[in-house]
Amino acid sequence: MILSIDLPEFEAADAAGRRKVAERVRANLETGFVFVRHDIPEEVVDRAYAMLAEFFALPREAKESYVVPESMGQTGYTGLLVETAADSDAPDWKEMLNWGPEVPEGHPLRARFPHRYMPRVFPEAHVPGITEVLDLFHARLFDLQRRFLRIIALGLGVHEEFFEGMLRNGPTLTRAIRYPPMAEAPDDAEHVWAGAHGDINLITALPRATAKGLQVQVGEGWVDAVAPDGHAILNTGLMLERLTNGRIPAGIHRVVGETGSVGERYSVVQFCHPTPWTLLSPLPTCVDKEHPLKESPILAGDWLDEVLYAINLVEGARRV
């Protein structure tokens, strides 16, 4: 039900073989999810997850010392019951550590979008060496996403490097998430680990989770998504849906734990974003008589700001 592809095999194929894989991906993304065999060394993932577990095991006061005011969940620590799915009034039962790439001082992106390129905050004082490990992890995941977007580009009938320019210095965000036991969740609302939503980006990568919980919407139902060994889960986002005039839908998903369960769950997701000044305008190859232009263009940064408000990450302007 969820497509599986081999990225290194695709890259080793000739032009005809690559085109065949791209067409298969393009034709089978109705759920927005795909399992991708990758070449990220297991030790890179192991080290990152071990250090993240060490961070999340810290006392609450220590973790909260890494909260960055007005960061809108784009850097530093975000505590429990903060982020809320856009279509829900019950905050998600999760806590997060967020980081992304650095942009040089004086870069026009940093000057124009200071809230998108804030100074990075890592818990180096409590977990020595974590900055270097998480930076490497981010870089390897970004490389995976960039390479997969070449498959998407070929399937859309545009140049294989179409996405390269909009990714350069984009605010791609890595987010480590701890989902505490559902037995510890407050009983004042119908809290879940993460409510149903589509991601506001191009694509999302999930290399590993320590427990089940991720579910993909298929028709009117939900299907568990657990990648085979050596594979990462990639899903399409709302920005890619807009660029393709709805031809590639965003993958709708949620993360749920059994009510009253005592197990926790760790995962890391990486949201691949275009630069905030990218104009998300539908590709000509995705517009025809059967698929008329559906939505007007919008700047990526403006749309992201709107969604950050909707999911309750804007301080002083919380939706709920």
The pLDDT of 285-289, averaged and rounded, is 93
Is 240 a member of any domain?
A: yes
CATH of the domain at 287: 2.60.120.330
- The count of domains in the chain is 1
pLDDT, residue 62, reads 97
Is 243 a member of any domain?
A: yes
Is 176 a member of any domain?
A: yes
Helix (H), strand (E), coil (C) string for the chain: CCEEEEHHHHHHCCHHHHHHHHHHHHHCCCCCEEEEECCCCHHHHHHHHHHHHHHHCCCHHHHHCCCCCCCCCCCEEECCCCCCCCCCCCCCCCEEEEECCCCCCCCHHHHHCCCCCCCCCCCCCCCCCHHHHHHHHHHHHHHHHHHHHHHHHHHHCCCCCCCHHHHCCCCCEEEEEEECCHHHCCCCCCCCCEEEECCCCCEEEECCECCCCEEEEECCEEEECCCCCCEEEEEECHHHHHHCCCCCCCCCEEECCCCCCCCCEEEEEEEECCCCCCEECCCHHHCCCCCCCCCCCEEHHHHHHHHHHHCCCCCCCCCC
Tokens of 249: 């839908």
Is 315 a member of any domain?
A: no
Is the predicted pLDDT of residue 320 greater than 70, yes or no?
Answer: no
The 10s digit of each residue's pLDDT in 19-36 is 999 999 998 898 999 999
80, 34, 82, 30: which is closest to 182 by C-alpha? 80
The 10s digit of each residue's pLDDT in 200-219 is 999 999 999 999 999 999 98
Going from the C-alpha of 244 to that of each of 167, 199, 277, 293, the distances in angstroms are 17, 15, 18, 10
Give me the domain span that covers residue 290. 3-310
Is 318 a member of any domain?
A: no
User: Phi and psi dihedrals of 291, rounded to 5?
Assistant: -130, 75
Is the predicted pLDDT of residue 157 greater than 70, yes or no?
Answer: yes
The 10s digit of each residue's pLDDT in 219-243 is 889 999 999 999 999 999 999 999 9
User: Phi and psi dihedrals of 72, rounded to 5?
Assistant: 55, 35
pLDDT, residue 188, reads 73
